[in-house]
Amino acid sequence: MLKGKSVVVTGGAKGIGRYIAHRFAKEGAKVAILDVDKPRMDQTLAELEDFGGEALAQVADVYNEDQVHSAMAEVAKRFGGIDVLVNDAGIVPHFNWGTPRWPAIRDMDVSFWEHVMNTNLGGTFMCSKHVIPYMEKGGSGHIVNLYGGGGLTPAGALTYVISKEAIRYFTRYHAEEVREAGICVVVLGPGGPIATEDAPDEARARMDSPELAGPRFLLAAEASMEMSGHLLNLDGDKLVIDD
């Protein structure tokens, strides 16, 4: 049961993260969102509070160690610990929305490569690093990492694909580091190409709603230790190992 659990959702101000945060709040969890988009974060915080539970918003760049450290400490102080971390924050190409493809590697500026890798993979590392002490103190916890998204092929998105494949392997080996502490680490995708609130009307009319993603993340936050380290998928109404 997730009622009363303390949950952190990175990238929770908008997009898939916003809807993941909604679902946890509706289940009665105490939900904290971490993001860099302060105006959107304030809006989402108000939505979470409307569900009647405790909610918190923390401005934090997921690859800024000082900001992440401070944000996790504030969440733990306010909620009495941290039970679940959803590493959703990421830079995603939305080719299915009609946006241009990213540059090929030969044409890519190094700063773009670093920004994507540092946010997607680096943010997963940084937030995991700073949530672990609170989960160890509580004797258990779940870290849910986001895989896939964007509904794309590597052409024009190699940086993104590499970052997500790296997260998959990060999950596998990090799970072994924290298994004895009772911390379950899993990775799963949102369930297919999704059009969020920022997508053009045309894309939202033909693609799935981000609400599709919510239920699978609820299940992942209660996954058994036998699933730790694995890529998961939803089969009907239950999670299965998909690697």
User: Catalytic residue positions?
Assistant: 160
The DSSP code for 88 is -
Which amino acid is it at 216? R
Pairing state between β 84-87 and 55-59:
unpaired
Q: In angstroms, rounded to a whole number, what is the distance separating the alpha carbons of residues 83 and 81? A: 7
Dihedral (CA of 62, 18, 193, 239) sign: positive
